[in-house]
Amino acid sequence: MIDRNVYEEVSQAPIGVFDSGVGGLTVAREIMRQMPKERIIYFGDTARVPYGTKSKETVTRFSKQIARFLQSHQVKTIVVACNTASAYAIEDLEAELDIPVIGVVKPGARMAADVTRNGKIGVIATEGTIGSGLYSKYIKSLREDATIYGKACPLFVPLVEEGLWEDPVTVEIARRYLTELIDLDIDTLILGCTHYPLIRSTIGSIMGEGVTLVNPAYETAVALKKLLAEKNLLNEVTPPLGSNPYQFYVSDGAEKFKQFANSIIKYGILSAKTINIEEY
């Protein structure tokens, strides 16, 4: 429950956003752009990243701990910005939490089902997200005749974190990963991992103009705005100047996190605090 001594109205409480690390900042960035009055509490699990190679049980346990941490900060809703955590843990979180929870998989799947013309959709993501089959399941529930081709692209995450967004090495690796999807004649490609929107132009130039790229980070912010409006939870009041509406927490390496965050978000990240997530 939201503590009324802290926020006058529930709608003024922050949105909790979490990811395995820095990648979820692509989702936080979209929320900041689309809902500039909202406060955000972001948690990046930098001590335990990556999630993409871990089991469903582990990722679900981590996700539940983080949800408890975010709830201790009075969040009004939780955004599971990590595709892998969304794919593995969203149903458990929905069952356990008494506040609205939204993941990135459903909004991305919905947009892909909407925009495809030939019904052939590619999904690129971590091994975990592809293995979960959740993108396929959601797309099929909306468009029965769709054919979904999943492709794990494990090297993209470290390349993005190294800042090699348009480097020839990234272009070459992207070509190797994506050629089979081009050969399969897909017309829509879901960027099903937090990091991939940052190499969107590299991916787009390889796939060509005929392929629509779907960015779940963007679609999630659109869906979140709708959800908050439906539940009367949209914040109509601009947070007062100097009130630091964006707060960042990590489980390790706060300084490195801050540097990466400042390279992709134009609002200055004033600080990032390290906490012990195992306590939650």
**Residues contributing to the site for ligand DGL (CB under 6 A):** 19-20, 23, 49-52, 82-84, 126, 129, 157, 193-195
- Cβ of residue 167: shortest distance to ligand DGL, in angstroms? 19
* Residue at token pair 């008494």: 98
Q: Which is nearer to ligand DGL, 20 or 60 (CB)?
A: 20
Q: Which is nearer to ligand DGL, 110 or 195 (CB)?
A: 195
CB 273 within 8 A of CB 250: yes
CB 43 within 8 A of CB 70: yes
- Cβ of residue 139: shortest distance to ligand DGL, in angstroms? 17
Stated as kind and residue range, the H or E segment containing 87 is helix 83-96
Handedness of CA 24, 28, 29, 30 (dihedral sign): positive
Q: Which is nearer to ligand DGL, 37 or 137 (CB)?
A: 137
- Cβ of residue 129: shortest distance to ligand DGL, in angstroms? 5
Tokens of 84: 């892998």
- Could you list the active site residues? 82, 193
Beta bridge partners of residue 123, listed in sequence order: 150, 190
- Cβ of residue 19: shortest distance to ligand DGL, in angstroms? 5
CB 89 within 8 A of CB 63: yes
Residue 66: left (phi > 0), alpha (psi -120 to 50), or beta? Answer: alpha
Q: Which is nearer to ligand DGL, 160 or 233 (CB)?
A: 160
Cα separation values, 254 from 118, 156, 188, 223, 270, Å: 45, 22, 36, 30, 11
- Cβ of residue 78: shortest distance to ligand DGL, in angstroms? 15
Cα separation values, 90 from 4, 6, 79, 97, Å: 28, 28, 10, 10
Q: Name the burial class of residue 249, with classes exposed (0-12), middle (13-18) and buried (19+) by CB atoms within 10 angstroms of its CB.
A: buried
Q: Which is nearer to ligand DGL, 11 or 220 (CB)?
A: 220
- Cβ of residue 156: shortest distance to ligand DGL, in angstroms? 9
Q: Which is nearer to ligand DGL, 15 or 193 (CB)?
A: 193
> In angstroms, rounded to a whole number, what is the distance separating the alpha carbons of residues 38 and 11?
9
